[in-house]
Homo-oligomer: A and B are copies of this chain.
Amino acid sequence: MVKANLHFLDLKDSYLFSTVREKTEAYMKAHPEKEVLKLGVGDVTLPLVPAVIDALEKASAEMGDIKTFRGYPPEGGYAFLKKAIIENDYAERGVKIDDDELFVSDGAKCDTGNIVDIFGPDNTVLVADPVYPVYVDTNIMSGRKIKYVNGTAENGFCPEPPDFPADMIYICSPNNPTGAAMDAKKLGRWVAYAKKHGAVILFDSAYEAYINDPSLPHSIYEIEGAKDCAIEFRSFSKTAGFTGVRCGYSVVPKTLKAENGVSLNALWARRHATKYNGTPYIVQRAAEAVYSDEGKKQIKANIDYYMSNAAVIRKTLSDLGLTVFGGENAPYIWFRCPFGMTSWEFFDYLLEKVQVAGTPGSGFGAMGEGYFRLTSFGSKEITEKALERISSLSFR
């Protein structure tokens, strides 16, 4: 008889966002006269920029003409997009990436999920708690043992490498959910740790476009030696509002080897060729437009818009005497709940007192308990209104 993958039964049901939604809806139903402001979602709200829309419309028209129609895309991405990525995201920062080290995809969530295919089941996985749940769940599904390092207020939610070994290390910087961004020194210590143990770093830099501090690295490959020990994931979702367009990419250097010298680049290329059929042509043209002069300007304006929301959130919460992290090089603001409240107690408190819905930190792991996340992806009006209401409260 057919047997299911029983590792799925080890997954915890992820009630975080559904419970947030249910609680919020229940409150709205009980208090129809109150306006609830939502600063919990991680989805963007500004539309695609004109340069991207132009590219989408132009590419759509091409698909309707026999002379310009395109069928199956190359599994790893069209040369025009790969060139734009390599030049803008890497060469400009002094990093050399070859064409066949880059794999265009339908997003970083898919890539960080699918990458587990190329690793054996006996690797030990290391993640920093609090954590983006995909890293944990995809490894539980494939039966790997997971160890944790703790993000705390003391280490600024950027933990140091531990004194025990690991084989696969997930790092998200700038971080979801804490908004913390690692500097080159700290990343260097992680690269040294990975090289010492023959481990691979799975570096998720989906939020790099939100880095303001010019001293911070945008790519792990800015760290000496990282091409021997790291895979990088990027996404157009938060950079260019592509959450509903679906485009991202991964970099797997050819110098990266697993035990017995197995090339992880060759395995990932084979995985793409066998289980993926390429990113839509129109989407790749849209992503290419992100790198045009007009596109860059327009996208910068959107990121500035979100980051001015982040500044408002950060300043208001700090002025109220709360301990605040993130929001300077990331779209997420992470803070300690007042009065020693748990994350869910503070969720209820904020909803009932001022009708603002955020995200309880405990949903991202044990170390998130007692913390809370707000996002800067709402509109300026909603964000300012929500923070005005919050500043009417006293947390001292």
Q: Which residues of A contact B (CB under 8 A)?
A: 1-6, 8-9, 11, 14, 43-50, 52-53, 56-57, 60-61, 63-66, 68-73, 106-107, 109-110, 113-114, 117-120, 122-123, 133-134, 137-138, 141, 167-168, 197-200, 241, 243-246, 258-260, 262, 264, 267, 270-271, 273-283
Can you list 8 contacts pairing A with B, beta carbon distance less than 8 Å? A1-B197, A2-B168, A3-B120, A3-B123, A43-B72, A69-B244, A243-B277, A245-B282
Contact at B109–A106, with CB atoms within 8 Å? no
Q: Write out the residue numbers on chain B whose beta carbons fall within 8 Å of the beta carbon of A282.
A: 56, 60, 245, 282
- Nearest-neighbour CB distance to chain B for A160, whole angstroms, equals 20
Closest to A9 in B: B262
User: Which residues from B are CB-within-8-Å of A243?
Assistant: 71-72, 277
A267, B72: Cβ atoms closer than 8 Å: no
Whether B274 lies near A134 (C-beta < 8 A) is: yes
Residues of B within 8 A of A50 (CB): 64
Task: Give me the 10 closest cross-chain CB pairs, A-B, nearest first.
Answer: A1-B198, A113-B275, A53-B64, A4-B258, A3-B120, A43-B71, A47-B69, A4-B262, A56-B60, A71-B243
> 8 more A-B contacts (CB under 8 A) besides A2-B123, A8-B270, A244-B281?
A1-B259, A2-B168, A4-B120, A4-B264, A5-B119, A8-B267, A48-B69, A110-B277
Shortest beta-carbon distance, A282 to chain B, in Å? Answer: 7
Instruction: For A167, give its contact among B1, B8, B14, B60 (CB under 8 Å).
Output: B1
Residues of B contacting A244 with CB < 8 Å? 63, 69-73, 278, 280-281
Contact of A53 (CB < 8 Å), options: B61, B110, B267: B61
- Please give me the residue from chain B that is nearest to A280 by CB atom: B246
Smallest CB gap from A46: residue in B: B66
Contact: A259 with B3, CB < 8 Å? yes
Question: Which of chain B's residues have a CB closer than 8 A to the CB of A114?
Answer: 275
Which residues of chain B come closer than 8 Å to A110, judged between CB atoms?
275-277
- Chain B residue nearest to A62 (CB atoms) is B47
Query: In whole angstroms, what is the CA distance A44 to B73 when docked?
Result: 12
Shortest A258–chain B CB gap in Å is: 4
CA distance A119 to B1 in the complex (A): 11
- The answer to whether B61 touches A1 (Cβ under 8 A) is no
A45 touches B69 (CB 8 A): yes
Query: Residues of B contacting A47 with CB < 8 Å?
Result: 63-66, 68-69
* Cα–Cα, bound, A6→B282 (Å): 36
User: A113 to chain B: closest CB distance in Å?
Assistant: 3
What residues of chain B lie closer than 8 Å to A262, measured between beta carbons? Answer: 4, 6, 9
Option from B119, B133, B271, B280 in Cβ contact (under 8 Å) with A280: B280
Interchain CA distance A137-B117 in the complex, whole Å: 13
A71 nearest CB across to chain B (Å): 4
Which one of B65, B199, B279 lies within 8 Å of A1 (CB-CB)? B199
